[in-house]
Amino acid sequence: MDPDSEDKKMIAIIPARGGSKGLPGKNIRELAGKPLIAHTIETALQSKLISEIIVSTDDKNIAEIAVKYGATCPFMRPAYLATDNSKAIDAYLYTVDRLERERNILVDNFVVLLPTSPLRQVSDIDSAVKMFYDKEADSVISFTEENHPVSWHMYLNKDHSLKKIFDINLKNRQDNRKTYYPNGSIYVFKKELLRQGTHYSDKTFAYVMTGERSVDIDSELDFKFAEFLIDFIALEEKKG
């Protein structure tokens, strides 16, 4: 695939609603000197395969900051698509459908970049999009390796007694097959797959990212860890 081919470029949607019960205001909270969402925008701007970065939000402050850092916000997301119970797929399709209707363009495929993953690199975005085209995929989703065997996981009952999820596996960790989980960083979709109400098909492929680039900010601890990694990476780059 020619990375500079105009017909291979996609829009990128950054969903960033204003409400966040776990960490209020996290999408525009300052991280390493700039709003959290700015990290994703600035990385996406470097991509050879993204034609436009569109922020989908219900919050005017987020919209203003997004535009300041180089994204566009052509319309606000309606309130019914910005609640705790709203489905992400519905918000993506609303954005794409409205773009098609108001701009008279056809959006068959697009990228979704969550603002809570500030440590992805532009090479991750471009590699995921390239995988999407090379494999003729319905979707490509970023994953990272799980450090512990999933077979070790258990439920806790109210009295803290254990309830098995899987048959007990007493193998040493190194003897278990590696498992991977979605890190919430990059999604490349065919629009028609989302119309079916799912992210996955038998033509879904995983783009694997390293652990240090897979931080997904959802708590105060996540924020502090991300700040530590950004400072650490900057220090290592100075050392050469």
Task: Evaluate if residue 169 carries a pLDDT over 70.
Answer: no
What mean pLDDT, rounded, does the chain reach? 92
Which residues are CB-contacts of 126 (< 8 A; sequence separation ≥ 6)? 3, 47, 48, 49
pLDDT (tens digit per residue) in 151-163? 888 999 999 999 9
Averaged pLDDT, 62-79: 97
Q: Which one is the CATH code of 6-144+180-239: 3.40.50.150, 3.90.550.10, 3.30.930.10, 3.40.50.300?
A: 3.90.550.10
pTM of the model: 0.92
With CA atoms as reference, report the closest residue to 67 among 77, 53, 81, 78: 53
Q: How many residues can be counted in the chain?
A: 240
Beta bridge partners of 24: none
Above pLDDT 70, what percent of the chain? 93
Task: Evaluate if residue 172 carries a pLDDT over 80.
Answer: no
Which residues are CB-contacts of 111 (< 8 A; sequence separation ≥ 6)? 10, 11, 12, 13, 50, 125, 128, 129, 186, 187, 188, 189
pLDDT (tens digit per residue) in 211-225? 999 999 999 999 999
User: Where are the chain's structural domains?
Assistant: 6-144+180-239
